[in-house]
Amino acid sequence: MKVFVVDDEQVILNSCRLVLAAEGFDASFFDSADEALQALQHEVPTLIIVDIKMPGHDGFYFINEVRKMHGSIPVIAMSGYPTRKTIADSGASGATRFLEKPFTPNEFLDTIYKTMGKEQQNET
Amino acid sequence: MASLLLLAFMVGAVSLVAGGNLLYKAVINEATNRIRFDLNAAREIYQERIKTVHSLLAISASETSFRDAVRFYSIPDLMSRLETLSFYADMDFAGVVDGDGTIICKLGPAVDPANARRADNPMIRQVLERKVPVSGSVILDQAFLKSENPALANRARIRLSPHAGREKTGSDEETSGMAIVAAIPVFERGKLIGIVYGGTLLNRNENIVDTVRKTVFQHENYKGRNIGTATIFLNDIRIATNVLTQEGKRLLGTRVSPEVKTQVLDQGKSWVGRASVVNQWYRAAYEPIEDLCGSRIGMLYVGVLEAKYNDIRNKAFFIFALTTFVGMLAAVVVGYQLANRLIRPVENLIQASQEVSRGNFSPDIGPIAQDEMGHLQTTFQSMLQSLEERARRSQVESENRLLQSEKQASVGRLAAGVAHEINNPLTGVLTYTYMLLRRKDLSDDIRADLQTIATSTERVRQIVKGLLDFSRQTALNLEQSDINQVVGSAVSFVENQALLKGISITLREGDNLPQLTLDRSQIQSVLLNILINALDATETGGDILVSTGISLSGGTAGQKGVEISITDTGSGIPAHDLDKLFDPFFSTKEVGEGTGLGLSVSLGIVERHGGTIRVKSEMGNGSSFYVWIPVHQEDS
């Protein structure tokens, strides 16, 4: 299982790396939307976790692009400013689930499993 | 102003016309009434003359010496008596006849024995027939007059005026005479032995008509002319008058108008009205004169020069018009004054209130008057002052409110930025702390320290979340709710805490409260927030009273709502803190104890329900919080 994590904040990438590694996930980390989109040309992950507010292309743009390239990959959108509008826009642009920052390792993993579980349900 | 003038002129004109008319009628009425009285007076004078002749003759006839003189035909004695009588009674003719009617003697030229043996005149005939005294008016023919005295016959002749002779008669001359006469029988032992008679010829007689004028009109003059006139008519011909012709002669021989003649002579009624005599208008009155047998033989007339009445009328009308004009002028002047004193200030006030409605609170209301208007003006001014004061206050209030919402908005923006920035490192702290805590090789003190880091970080997370909640203003999840239930569950939530602290919480639920549309969990968190604050502020042994009831809001014109009051016996809030109580991040608690977001978030929630939170507090006497929520809130 391959997970892509996209965030401009190094501390988030490091936190995610720590938890995902401990949980045994294979993960790649990108600090911009463009970088992640490039990687997506060559590799299709099982799950993408992406921050909404990023310099350059933001999370909404990224999710849109992902949906164009690979329609059904589950995407978790994250934000440190989870307004109603942000959450709604995330859903509209194609995010599967929304994760509010900050989060604890347990909340992070819960969200991942719930998303995957939902995906698996959808697939069966 | 123009309309006022017009009105004044119209009223003036109408009253002038109406008043002038009334005046004219009054004058005419007065003239008519007066001429009636005058005619009565004239008749009395005329009758008095007849009575005088009658009385004098009768007194003479009743004397024994007179009777003897008649009996013995003592002509000189009789003649001297007749002369005396005629002098006193102003008689033109007089005589004595015997019991057969044969003349004994008479005034004037001697009796022509050939044809005047019997006196042939109406009054003697009457006395011979009826044997009683008679007196009155008679017509005497030319023959009788001639027999009495040729001079009399001549005096009786009156030439008829050619242009006044409307009625064509054969003759152009009136030869008969009209006279007032009396004839008194003289009896000796019941036998008629003679008759004494006498009379005054009215033709050309000036005495009677002038006496009438003198007595009735008392020489009243109008522009040098006598205003009153009197006339005696033989039939319809003027035979004695003081109406003058234009040349100043007495107007004799002219006839009365056919209209008067018909009414007076033919029908026997009196006639009162306007009559034109010699180009002069008179208020005139006529009445018939009857002879001894009751036949109408002439008329008595009095007239007053109408010019005098016209003059009176004109003078009165002039005075009336002058009064009206002066009154009108006064009305205009008073109206102008009134306009100055009343209308102008009122107009000023109207303009001022229009300016006020445009927002100018110190408009020019003109000079302040000394009267009730001045009172109104000063009242208006003081009203303006309080209006201005209120406007200023409400401006301050709305500025405060604006400041508050700006504060909230900036806090919101700040929170958003801060939250975003803080949440990322917070995620790091949380992640690393919890990942460290997963390790089995940690010593207990390190684990405890890590646990403290985790707890503190969780606390930071809550603060940031509160900030976000505050800025995010999450939408209300409205549902019909029983407010007592919401309050009850909030109270029971803190009851354990209160019990532990030794504080009694009393809940007094209001009866028959309406259902409210509200977000239960948000209102509950508001109540919890206040309750927890109250618990914190209250020492052991204190009381907290929670009650609900119907209350009208002060703000929205007495809108019906429900008020939840939470009163504690705690430390109270200093006055200088009351203003800041609802500011975000304001807290009276020690640093680290409270987030400072509670009350501002609470107020936000209640305000989004259309309600308010009020606070009353006194240092040392506890605080009261009043949460008011309207029954029907506007769609938000």
DSSP-derived secondary structure for B53-80: HHHHHHHHHHSHHHHHHHHTT-HHHHHH
Radius of gyration, alpha carbons of chain A: 13
Biggest CA-to-CA distance, chain A:
38
Is pLDDT above 90 for A105?
yes
Which residues lie across from B507 on neighbouring strands?
B546
Question: B308 near B281, Cβ under 8 Å?
Answer: no
Separation CA A37–CA A28 (nearest Å): 12
Three-class DSSP category at B173: strand
Lowest mean pLDDT across A114-118, B44-48, B185-189: A114-118
What pLDDT is recorded for position A122? 46
- Is the bond into B630 cis (omega within 30 degrees of 0)? no
User: Degrees (nearest 5) of the Cα angle A99, A104, A107?
Assistant: 50
The pLDDT confidence band at residue B176, using thresholds 50, 70 and 90, is confident
Task: Please give the residue of chain B at the shortest CA–CA distance from A9.
Answer: B424
**Which residues in chain B touch residue A103, judged by CB atoms under 8 angstroms apart?**
427, 430-431
What's the gap between Cα B313 and its chain centre? 30
Q: Say yes or no for a CB contact (<8 Å) between B430 and A104.
A: yes
The residue behind tokens 């109104």 is B376
**Which residues in chain B touch residue A105, judged by CB atoms under 8 angstroms apart?**
430-431, 434-435, 438
Q: Say yes or no for a CB contact (<8 Å) between B416 and A84.
A: no
The pLDDT confidence band at residue B126, using thresholds 50, 70 and 90, is confident
What is the pLDDT averaged over residues B191-214?
88
Q: Which two tokens stand for residue B551?
A: 């209350």
Helical spans, DSSP H, in B269-371: 306-338, 344-357
Question: Which range in A2-16, B76-90, B495-509 is most confidently predicted, on average pLDDT?
Answer: A2-16
Is pLDDT above 60 for A103?
yes
What pLDDT is recorded for position B461? 87
Is pLDDT above 90 for A6?
yes
| Residue A42 touches chain B, beta carbons under 8 Å | no
Indicate the length of chain A as a whole number.
124
Comparing CB atoms, the residue among B427, B435, B472 nearest residue A103 is: B427
Lowest mean pLDDT across A15-19, A48-52, A96-100, B108-112: B108-112
**Which residues in chain A touch residue B425, judged by CB atoms under 8 angstroms apart?**
11
- Quick one: CA torsion of B67, B71, B76, B81, rounded to 10 degrees? 20
Task: Please give the residue of chain A at the shortest CA–CA distance from B426.
Answer: A102
**Which residues in chain A touch residue B421, judged by CB atoms under 8 angstroms apart?**
80
Q: How far is A27 from chain B (nearest CA, A)?
A: 17
Residues 6+ apart with CB under 8 A from B87: none
What pLDDT is recorded for position B165? 46
What does DSSP say about strands A26-30 and B191-201: parallel, antiparallel, or unpaired?
unpaired
Q: Which domain holds residue A103?
A: 2-123
The pLDDT confidence band at residue A25, using thresholds 50, 70 and 90, is very high
Separation CA B613–CA B97 (nearest Å): 140
Separation CA A36–CA A66 (nearest Å): 10
Residues 6+ apart with CB under 8 A from B405: none
Domains and CATH numbers, chain B: 1-327 (3.30.450.20), 474-630 (3.30.565.10)
Q: pLDDT digits over B2-44, tens only?
A: 676 777 778 878 888 888 888 878 888 888 888 888 899 899 9
- Quick one: CA torsion of B228, B234, B239, B244, rounded to 10 degrees? 40
Separation CA B288–CA B178 (nearest Å): 13
Question: B585 near B526, Cβ under 8 Å?
Answer: no
**What phi and psi values does residue A34 have, to the nearest 5 degrees?**
-60, -45
What pLDDT is recorded for position A7? 94
Is pLDDT above 60 for B163?
no
What's the gap between Cα B408 and its chain centre? 66
| Residue A101 touches chain B, beta carbons under 8 Å | yes
What pLDDT is recorded for position A39? 93
> What's this model's pTM, rounded to 2 decimal places?
0.47
Whole-Å CA distances, B635 to B405, B517, B551, B556: 20, 11, 21, 15
**Which residues in chain A touch residue B467, judged by CB atoms under 8 angstroms apart?**
none
What is the pLDDT averaged over residues B340-352?
80
Interface mutation target, options A54, A81, A108, A111, chain B, most CBs of B under 10 Å: A81
Q: How far is A15 from chain B (nearest CA, A)?
A: 5
Nearest C-alpha neighbor of B255 from the set B241, B273, B267, B272: B241
Question: B53 near B199, Cβ under 8 Å?
Answer: yes
Comparing CB atoms, the residue among B419, B426, B427 nearest residue A81 is: B419
Interface mutation target, options A83, A98, A106, A109, chain B, most CBs of B under 10 Å: A83
Separation CA B96–CA B184 (nearest Å): 10
What pLDDT is recorded for position B548? 92
Separation CA B321–CA B330 (nearest Å): 14
Lowest mean pLDDT across A34-38, A120-124, B348-352, B497-501: A120-124
The pLDDT confidence band at residue A16, using thresholds 50, 70 and 90, is very high
If you ran DSSP here, which 8-state letter would residue B249 be given?
A: S
Q: How far is A41 from chain B (nearest CA, A)?
A: 28
Q: How far is A99 from chain B (nearest CA, A)?
A: 12
What is the pLDDT averaged over residues B441-464?
89
The pLDDT confidence band at residue B636, using thresholds 50, 70 and 90, is very low
What pLDDT is recorded for position B301? 92
Long-range own/partner contacts, residues B188-191 (CB < 8 A, 24 or more apart)? B188/B67, B188/B71, B191/B99
Is pLDDT above 80 for B57?
yes
Task: Please give the residue of chain A at the shortest CA–CA distance from B439.
Answer: A22
- Angle (deg, nearest 10), helices A10-23 and A105-123: 70
What pLDDT is recorded for position A59? 92
- Residue-by-residue DSSP string for A27-91: EEEESSHHHHHHHHHH---SEEEEESS-SSS-HHHHHHHHHHHSTT--EEEEESS--HHHHHHHH
Q: Say yes or no for a CB contact (<8 Å) between B427 and A102.
A: yes
The pLDDT confidence band at residue A124, using thresholds 50, 70 and 90, is very low
Question: B57 near B70, Cβ under 8 Å?
Answer: no
Q: Say yes or no for a CB contact (<8 Å) between A53 and B420.
A: yes
Separation CA B487–CA A37 (nearest Å): 54
Q: How far is A123 from chain B (nearest CA, A)?
A: 31
What is the pLDDT averaged over residues B240-262?
85
Task: Please give the residue of chain A at the shortest CA–CA distance from B433.
Answer: A104
Separation CA B505–CA B545 (nearest Å): 6
**Which residues in chain B touch residue A82, judged by CB atoms under 8 angstroms apart?**
468
Is pLDDT above 90 for B114?
no
What is the pLDDT averaged over residues B362-386?
82
Q: Say yes or no for a CB contact (<8 Å) between B420 and A9.
A: no
Q: What's the burial of B3, exposed, middle or buried (CB within 10 Å: 0-12/13-18/19+)? A: exposed
Question: B297 near B290, Cβ under 8 Å?
Answer: yes
What pLDDT is recorded for position B589? 56
Nearest C-alpha neighbor of A48 from the set B286, B119, A65, B396: A65
Q: What's the burial of B319, exposed, middle or buried (CB within 10 Å: 0-12/13-18/19+)? A: exposed
Which residues lie across from B613 on neighbouring strands?
B627
Domains identified in chain A, total number: 1
| Residue A82 touches chain B, beta carbons under 8 Å | yes
What's the gap between Cα B25 and its chain centre? 27
Separation CA B395–CA B393 (nearest Å): 5
Is pLDDT above 50 for B487?
yes
Q: How far is A122 from chain B (nearest CA, A)?
A: 30
Q: For B521-555, b where at least 16 C-beta lie within 10 A, e where not — what string?
A: ebbbbbbbbbbbbbbbbbeeebbbbbebeebebee
Q: pLDDT digits over B502-545, tens only?
A: 899 999 998 888 888 888 888 888 888 888 888 888 888 899 99
What pLDDT is recorded for position B130? 87
Q: How far is A124 from chain B (nearest CA, A)?
A: 33
What is the pLDDT averaged over residues B250-271?
88
**Which residues in chain A touch residue B451, judged by CB atoms under 8 angstroms apart?**
none
What pLDDT is recorded for position A5? 96
Separation CA B4–CA B342 (nearest Å): 14
Q: pLDDT digits over A46-74, tens only?
A: 999 999 988 889 999 999 999 888 778 99
The pLDDT confidence band at residue B474, using thresholds 50, 70 and 90, is low
Q: Say yes or no for a CB contact (<8 Å) between B420 and A79.
A: yes
- Quick one: CA torsion of B220, B222, B223, B229, rounded to 10 degrees? -80
What pLDDT is recorded for position A33? 93
Q: Say yes or no for a CB contact (<8 Å) between B423 and A19.
A: no
Task: Please give the residue of chain B at the shortest CA–CA distance from A83.
Answer: B472
What pLDDT is recorded for position A84? 67
Q: pLDDT digits over B539-572, tens only?
A: 888 999 999 998 876 555 567 889 999 999 988 8
What pLDDT is recorded for position B593? 47
The pLDDT confidence band at residue A45, using thresholds 50, 70 and 90, is very high
Radius of gyration, alpha carbons of chain B: 64
Comparing CB atoms, the residue among A15, A53, A83 nearest residue B472 is: A83
Comparing CB atoms, the residue among B424, B431, B435 nearest residue A9 is: B424
Average pLDDT, chain B: 82
What pLDDT is recorded for position B584? 61
Q: pLDDT digits over A74-94, tens only?
A: 999 998 877 767 787 888 888
Q: How far is B466 from chain A (nearest CA, A)?
A: 12
The pLDDT confidence band at residue B404, using thresholds 50, 70 and 90, is low
Residue type, B34: R
The pLDDT confidence band at residue B320, using thresholds 50, 70 and 90, is confident
Whole-Å CA distances, B437 to A10, A108, B125, B441, B446: 22, 16, 177, 9, 9
* CATH number of the domain that residue A37 is part of: 3.40.50.2300
What pLDDT is recorded for position B366? 79
Which residues lie across from B188 on neighbouring strands?
B191
Q: Give the A:B interface size as CB pairs under 8 Å.
A: 69
